[in-house]
Amino acid sequence: MTHAPKLTDPSDLDGLRLALAALDPDQRLSPLGIARIEISATAHLQVLPAVKEALATIGKTAPSAVMILTDTTPILRAGERLSVLVERQIEVEFSTRTICLDDGHEKLHADEMVLAMAAEAVKGADAIVTIGSGTMTDVGKIAAERNGGLPHVAVQTAASVDGFTDNVSVILRNGVKRTVPSRWPTIVLADVVTIGGAPREMNTAGFGEAISLFTAPADWYLSFLLGLDSTFHPASLAMLQAAAAEPPHWSAGIAMGDAFATCELTRLLALRGIVSGVSGTTACLSGVEHVISHMLDLHHAARHEAIGLHGAQVGVASLVASKLWREAIETDLIRPERLEKSDLAAIEARIAKAFGHLGDPIVQECQRDAQAKHMKVASNWDKFENLAAQWKDHAASFDKLVAPAETLRAALRDSGGPATFQSLEPSISPQLLHWAVANCFLMRSRFNLVDLLDMLGLWTDDRIAWAVADVLEDVTQ
Ligand SMILES: [Zn+2]
């Protein structure tokens, strides 16, 4: 008996490639460039074979020079320093050097200085090994890219983000986070004991990011149906749907480093990285919940205040996104007679009012994005009318893409991470939350459900208050 290749197992990459190829006969997706992902309690012991395997991809064998990149964060595995454990394995067969990147910050900043430092440090190496969380891996991907595409073994030490398994890097440019193209790591080794021992807020934030899988693809699909997104691909949607087929009932124990929960989380994040990597966009995993989180970052950055953990914010905001989506799916809210073209001048005035206190450059950027969105909407108006007229049919598709807020809330609580905005660090006041949610659709050229609700005249203060009612501390306690 033959088994159909599965879309949900990141450790069976050949199976995943086969399954994706079957759904992508025109080969529009980017090739999945990772040779192997190992997620287990013994992955840390496989660095030497992984380095050999990675070198073999460019036809090299020993003797070769292997550079290990770490930062100043002391990472222990069962009481032992992980970098020493890794170094000991490689030096048996290769000339090995460990370079600790130190930019003076408590946590490494992936800015141009650090990227240049890393690229220079690995010059002359035949392969690199990075040990660390998302930032370290992203720096390693760029250092590998700037040196002609060096084989790169990434030893993952936290389940904090989904960027371990994609081909882009999140860097800091002029103090602002930007996603830039880099390259896939050759091999990812995710030891669940080390990951389980990472600071709890890193893994619970990773879980917050992970659950946007149960809301964001709906915004991506909506945007595609309306003719506003050219990155959509049915294979990517199938993979997202397969990954989201089961709600994450396994999240209990993430904060405690429980091996099973850590393993499931690492797998889910790995799948997310792969799907956005092959799709060539983050849009498939970034919807209403992400713009709410970006709004909070915008506010804090403009006031020079500490910015909260992205995944933690996204996790709580996913509860808001889910509530709005489920209402749209389960009721007859979306009706053609409600649909009205937005007035661009009125939108620009709303942007000026909402973002004025953050400074002119931000207002102007949002207004430029709004103009671009407005033009795209105008030229696809027939699709809007069709969508509203056939909403019932479409709702059946969206139904499969969005998990109920209560399911996600229970999973988030079980994970040990924050499930309300006030319990985030920094804490978000009800006033700030209202501002962020009310205006979230005004900050970006991407279209999501809130844009549509606004065009239907449904984005009212009452609905916003209802949407955030159970992510406020006083109600949920
Ligand atoms: Zn995210």
Tell me what the mean pLDDT of segment 71-75 comes to: 93
| Cα→Cα distances 278→21, 236, 282, 383, Å | 11, 8, 10, 27
Q: Kindly indicate the confidence band of residue 5, based on its pLDDT and cuts at 50, 70 and 90.
A: low
Query: HSE of 361 in the Cβ direction (CA atoms, 13 Å)?
Result: 2
- How many angstroms separate the alpha carbon of residue 272 from the centre of ligand 1? 10
Assess whether pLDDT exceeds 70 at residue 54: yes
Please identify which residue in the block is written with the tokens 């849009």: 283
- How many angstroms separate the alpha carbon of residue 274 from the centre of ligand 1? 14
Instruction: Please list, residue by residue across 266-303, b when 16 or more beta carbons sit within 10 angstroms of its beta carbon and e when fewer do.
Output: bbbbbbbbbbbbbbbbbbbbbbbbbbbbbbbbbbbbee
Asked if 33-198 and 203-476 have one fold, the answer is no
**pLDDT tens-place string over residues 448-468:** 999 999 999 999 999 999 999
Which residues have CB less than 5 Å away from ligand 1 (the ion)?
209
- Largest Cα separation within the chain, whole Å, is 72
- How many angstroms separate the alpha carbon of residue 249 from the centre of ligand 1? 21
Cα 425-180-417 angle, rounded to 5 deg = 20
Instruction: Give dist(CA 60, CA 51) in Å, integer.
Output: 10
Assess whether pLDDT exceeds 90 at residue 173: no
Residue 63: its pLDDT value, please? 85
- How many angstroms separate the alpha carbon of residue 163 from the centre of ligand 1? 9
**pLDDT tens-place string over residues 413-422:** 999 999 999 9
What is the H or E stretch that residue 381 is in? helix 381-389
Tell me what the mean pLDDT of segment 356-367 comes to: 94
- How many angstroms separate the alpha carbon of residue 289 from the centre of ligand 1? 9
- How many angstroms separate the alpha carbon of residue 410 from the centre of ligand 1? 20
**pLDDT tens-place string over residues 261-317:** 999 999 999 999 999 999 999 999 999 999 999 999 999 988 989 889 999 999 999
- How many angstroms separate the alpha carbon of residue 196 from the centre of ligand 1? 21
Assess whether pLDDT exceeds 80 at residue 101: yes
**pLDDT tens-place string over residues 141-155:** 999 999 999 999 999
Mean pLDDT of the chain: 95
- How many angstroms separate the alpha carbon of residue 335 from the centre of ligand 1? 31
- How many angstroms separate the alpha carbon of residue 286 from the centre of ligand 1? 6
Residue 175: its pLDDT value, please? 74
Residue 1: its pLDDT value, please? 44
Contact indicator for 133, 198 with CB cutoff of 8 Å: yes
Assess whether pLDDT exceeds 70 at residue 382: yes
- How many angstroms separate the alpha carbon of residue 390 from the centre of ligand 1? 31
- How many angstroms separate the alpha carbon of residue 432 from the centre of ligand 1? 20
- How many angstroms separate the alpha carbon of residue 328 from the centre of ligand 1? 23
Going by C-alpha positions, the residue among 140, 157, 106 that lies closest to residue 306 is 106
Tell me what the mean pLDDT of segment 203-224 comes to: 98
- How many angstroms separate the alpha carbon of residue 217 from the centre of ligand 1? 12
* SS3 at position 68: strand
Assess whether pLDDT exceeds 60 at residue 475: no
Assess whether pLDDT exceeds 90 at residue 18: yes
Contact indicator for 454, 342 with CB cutoff of 8 Å: yes
The CATH number of the domain covering residues in 33-198 = 3.40.50.1970
Looking at the whole model, is its pTM more than 0.85?
A: yes
* SS3 at position 81: strand
The distance from CA 119 to its chain's CA centroid, rounded to whole angstroms, is 25
Q: Kindly indicate the confidence band of residue 123, based on its pLDDT and cuts at 50, 70 and 90.
A: very high
- How many angstroms separate the alpha carbon of residue 282 from the centre of ligand 1? 8
Domain 203-476 has CATH 1.10.260.40: no
| Cα→Cα distances 309→83, 134, 238, Å | 26, 13, 29
* SS3 at position 189: strand
Residue 3: its pLDDT value, please? 55
Residue 238: its pLDDT value, please? 95
- How many angstroms separate the alpha carbon of residue 312 from the centre of ligand 1? 10
Q: Cis omega before residue 63 (within 30°)?
A: yes
- How many angstroms separate the alpha carbon of residue 372 from the centre of ligand 1? 23
Instruction: Give dist(CA 252, CA 411) in Å, integer.
Output: 7
Tell me what the mean pLDDT of segment 15-32 comes to: 96
Domain residue limits, the chain: 33-198, 203-476
- How many angstroms separate the alpha carbon of residue 118 from the centre of ligand 1? 25
Instruction: Give dist(CA 445, CA 276) in Å, integer.
Output: 19
Residue 474: its pLDDT value, please? 55
Q: Kindly indicate the confidence band of residue 476, based on its pLDDT and cuts at 50, 70 and 90.
A: very low
- How many angstroms separate the alpha carbon of residue 266 from the centre of ligand 1? 15
Going by C-alpha positions, the residue among 40, 34, 414 that lies closest to residue 264 is 40
Return all residues near 257 (Cβ < 8 A) that are at least 6 apart.
Answer: 195, 196, 197, 198, 200, 203
Going by C-alpha positions, the residue among 227, 237, 215, 235 that lies closest to residue 387 is 227
